[in-house]
Chains A and B, each alone.
Chain A
Amino acid sequence: MFLIPCPYCGERDQSEFAYAYQAHVHRPKDPDRLTDKEWADFVFIRDNPKGVFAERWIHAAGCRRYFNLMRNTATDEILAVYRIDEPQPKVEPALPATPSGEAPIGSGNDAVKVVKPAERGS
């Protein structure tokens, strides 16, 4: 269970929140002008990164307000929280060392091998 810092209410247990998927998804202004494919892409396709993900949550059992989190989906670390009308802040997360971040030895599967910003090469 995440400990989620609601920007309006403070830290609360994840059970008070509902997940609302990717943040900064803008509904097309004029869907009629879109091809079927373009519309389908809007409806069905979202980012799914392993690493930094700007996502939306609603404090459903609290203030009922939507807000955005930046979370590292490789570690579940919460990197930033901001209102939905604010721009995406800059973060420096520890990112997977390779696309999957498979740990070099053992199984290591519960802990992705991540490289912290300070350790990252140029």
Chain B
Amino acid sequence: MPKILIIVLCFIILWGCDQTNQQGTTGSKSRNNELVDTINSTQILNINDNLFSIPSPHQVSKILIDLKIEYNPEILNPTQNTRKYSNSYKKALNLGVYGADLGYVNLYEKTQEAITYFSVIKILAEELDISNAFNKETIKSIEKNLTNQDSLLHLLSNSYQDIDLFLKTNDQEHTGVLILAGGWIESMFMLTQFAINTNNQQLCTRIGENKHPLSNLIKILSKYTEKNKIYQTLVDKLITLQELYDNIEVNYTYEYSETHPEQKITKIYSKTEITISKEDLKKITTEISNIRNFVIL
């Protein structure tokens, strides 16, 4: 028995040494096959050959500040609603919603509101048992930087990245998907409300440009419809929204790109043109509002 233990420990030590020296060595094929097998068996990672991206809610709502759209606190999900969220699914969805709201108040430099929304996010994360995803240093940094708009945006994005990583490595991807969905729905709610009220063409275009992310979101949520009925309900509602999006015309023209190797940058000149009628915009706005009500109420 002790001999086996020694062999096992030697193997682990040798493996660890190899890992620290990985810049200079290449492992054997068999060891990598073991790595794949172990990953498969322990479900450390989501193994998939096709992944879908959902734009960050901060990125979606950044257009509001660029267009100098006036701040409107009534657009936010009131923090008092938190007590309504009794199950983990609603909590996860609204963690995404409040993340988008925090991004919005931060963009408009509303410090007091940012503190309130951050507190609610902390509570929901604790209730979802994912507060470990935030390390203490990150929380301290966020609390210190609540008045620093740029730093806070970085910290918040990194925090949501930490949550994403934590959920993926703990076999809770289904929770992460709801957080993503909540963030996207909230940011689309903001875009549509401001588009209807201001009649701003750039906002209408941005709504249309979310046709593909909507399709991605449906694909991601569809993986979990057997987990809980909330996934199926959300998918059904988003499919209804997608049917409205089918009326939006998207025309793409490819153009040559321009690369500047010394700056490691490529400028993409290809173009997408979006045509959305006022009637369709109204229908989409109403449908997104219905979906958002389902999420927050």
Answer yes or no: are A and B bound together in one complex: no
Q: Chain B residues in contact with chain A, CB under 8 A?
A: none
Q: Chain A residues in contact with chain B, CB under 8 A?
A: none
